[in-house]
């Protein structure tokens, strides 16, 4: 919620690491960029830098107490007012408390009390940064839509060198301003977007199934981004990832269930995005009881599943934008162009899933977005959330373009 004079309200959370002193510079940069900055320091942060320094530079006095001076429940005021919450530096301890849902100080309680986007800038020693627990906590937060400015490699406290140094305050400020810009656009308000996500599971018998490597991360990132940009979002998903805030999730398992869920949902949609990795074939006659090894190697006969994207295109209503995906491993752009023409969708997002850090299960992706008019946009390796935004930019262009055509 912007302040009365229209400035975006930024909660700047500072946790207790030596890099806390750099958050002072970040505070100044954000204020200079026109943000209302409300600093919140953990108790440990105050051991590295004083509240007075932040209070002197920020838009309101720095706060540290859950039971605060300015209101009885400062975490709800801060959480509900925020357009963005930044945590810089985010220590391993803070990431763990945030991931676990703790609310035992003002900063973690504010994080629970907000629906605003959250940006974390971790900083810690290399050994801590590489710990599986820290890696897992950050990955969990990413899956929930939290954005991350990765630490740099460089000089650390105590003279050590390695990964874990807080990113430059200017880099963090730039990422924060980009999020605010995106969030305040709400360019999909009034639109309904239906998105599919995850790999379907096709039963062989009650305990076994055929599936693929899709985690659902790209589809869920699309749902998160579309909701944040103001759309009403329905997510038909076979993934076990949590639904993003404000998104209605329809849980499915098989291609047939996804088909059955997608068609009626798409009738009300302005845009439909098929990010799911739907099985092309399924066992024709799944066994009713567990197939026993002793009875010899089973012969599994496969039959094709319904082409959901094809059926969506066949039933497309006027002005609706339909986006297909393609997971390719060779002759990527040629195969994608042929698939776009064959499927008849408006946009086709192709990822080369043989490239490092691209496609299945990664937190990052790199894609080309091909349009039926022959144009193409490349999105370089970036977070799945950033890729989602670039896809939604194209979807929005198409929606606006078809409205312009209709009004002529």
- Residues lying near ligand PMT in the complex (CB under 6 A): 214-219, 255, 274-278, 280, 305, 307-309, 324-327, 351, 353, 359-361
| Nearer CB in complex with ligand PMT: 114/215 | 215
Q: Which residues contact 198 (CB under 8 A, 6 or more apart)?
A: 214, 215, 216, 219, 237, 238, 239, 241, 276, 277
**Pairwise CA distance, residues 176 & 117, whole Å:** 10
Instruction: Determine which helix (DSSP H) or strand (DSSP E) holds 282, and give its type and residue range.
Output: strand 281-283
| Catalytic machinery residues | 212
Its sign, for the CA torsion 234, 238, 239, 241, is positive
CA distances from 333 to 329, 352, 381 (A): 10, 9, 16
| Nearer CB in complex with ligand PMT: 307/397 | 307
**Pairwise CA distance, residues 184 & 361, whole Å:** 29
| Nearer CB in complex with ligand PMT: 138/309 | 309
Q: Which residues contact 372 (CB under 8 A, 6 or more apart)?
A: 340, 344, 345, 346, 347
In this structure, are strands 321-328 and 347-352 parallel, antiparallel, or unpaired?
Answer: parallel
Q: Shortest Cβ distance from residue 198 to ligand PMT (Å)?
A: 6
| Nearer CB in complex with ligand PMT: 37/277 | 277
CA distances from 319 to 135, 234, 311 (A): 43, 19, 16
Q: Shortest Cβ distance from residue 210 to ligand PMT (Å)?
A: 13
| Nearer CB in complex with ligand PMT: 48/360 | 360
Q: Shortest Cβ distance from residue 84 to ligand PMT (Å)?
A: 25
| Nearer CB in complex with ligand PMT: 73/284 | 284
Q: Shortest Cβ distance from residue 116 to ligand PMT (Å)?
A: 24
CB atoms inside a 10 Å sphere around CB 143? 20
**Pairwise CA distance, residues 149 & 212, whole Å:** 30
**Pairwise CA distance, residues 234 & 64, whole Å:** 39
Task: Give the pair of three-digit tokens for residue 208.
Answer: 């076994």
Task: Give the pair of three-digit tokens for residue 77.
Answer: 């005021």
Q: Shortest Cβ distance from residue 192 to ligand PMT (Å)?
A: 19
In this structure, are strands 36-41 and 9-14 parallel, antiparallel, or unpaired?
Answer: parallel
The conformation of residue 244, written as its DSSP 8-state character, comes to P
Q: Shortest Cβ distance from residue 227 to ligand PMT (Å)?
A: 17
Burial of 301 (0-12, 13-18, 19+ CB in 10 A): exposed
**Pairwise CA distance, residues 394 & 371, whole Å:** 9
Q: Shortest Cβ distance from residue 372 to ligand PMT (Å)?
A: 14
| Nearer CB in complex with ligand PMT: 42/200 | 200
CB atoms inside a 10 Å sphere around CB 184? 14
């Amino acid at each position: 919620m912007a302040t009365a004079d229209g400035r975006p309200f930024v909660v700047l959370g500072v946790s207790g690491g030596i890099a806390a002193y750099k958050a002072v510079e970040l505070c100044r940069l954000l204020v200079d960029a026109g943000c209302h900055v409300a600093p919140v320091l953990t108790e440990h942060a105050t051991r590295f830098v004083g509240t007075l320094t932040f209070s002197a530079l920020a838009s309101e006095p720095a706060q540290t107490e859950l039971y605060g001076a300015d209101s009885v429940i400062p975490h709800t005021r801060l959480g509900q007012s925020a357009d963005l919450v930044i945590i810089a530096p985010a220590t391993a301890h803070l990431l763990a408390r945030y991931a676990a849902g703790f609310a035992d100080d003002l900063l973690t309680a504010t994080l629970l009390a907000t629906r605003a986007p959250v940006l974390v800038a971790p900083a810690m020693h290399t050994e801590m940064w590489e710990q599986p627990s820290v890696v897992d906590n950050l990955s969990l937060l990413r899956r929930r839509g939290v954005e991350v400015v990765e630490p740099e490699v460089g000089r650390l406290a105590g003279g050590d060198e390695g990964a874990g140094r807080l990113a430059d305050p200017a880099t963090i400020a730039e990422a924060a301003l980009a999020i605010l810009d995106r969030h305040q656009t709400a360019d999909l308000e009034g639109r309904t977007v239906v998105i599919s996500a995850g790999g379907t599971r096709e039963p062989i018998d009650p305990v076994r199934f055929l599936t693929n490597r899709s985690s659902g991360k790209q589809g869920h990132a699309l749902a998160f981004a579309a909701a944040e940009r103001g759309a009403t979002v329905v997510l038909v998903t076979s993934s076990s990832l949590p639904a993003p805030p404000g998104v209605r999730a329809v849980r499915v398992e098989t291609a047939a269930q996804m088909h059955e869920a997608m068609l009626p949902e798409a009738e009300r949609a302005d845009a439909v995005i098929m990010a799911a990795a739907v099985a092309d074939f399924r066992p024709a006659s799944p066994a009713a009881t567990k197939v026993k090894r002793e009875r010899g190697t089973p012969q599994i006969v496969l039959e094709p599943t319904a082409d959901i994207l094809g059926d969506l295109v066949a039933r497309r209503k006027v002005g609706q934008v339909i986006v297909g995906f393609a997971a390719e491993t060779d002759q990527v752009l040629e195969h994608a162009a042929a698939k776009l023409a064959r499927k008849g969708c408006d946009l086709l997002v192709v990822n080369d899933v043989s490239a490092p850090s691209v496609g299945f299960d990664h937190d990052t992706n790199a894609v080309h977005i091909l349009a039926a008019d022959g144009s193409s946009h490349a999105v370089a390796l970036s977070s799945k959330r950033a890729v989602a935004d670039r896809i939604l930019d194209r979807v929005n262009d198409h929606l606006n373009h078809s409205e312009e055509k209709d009004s002529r």
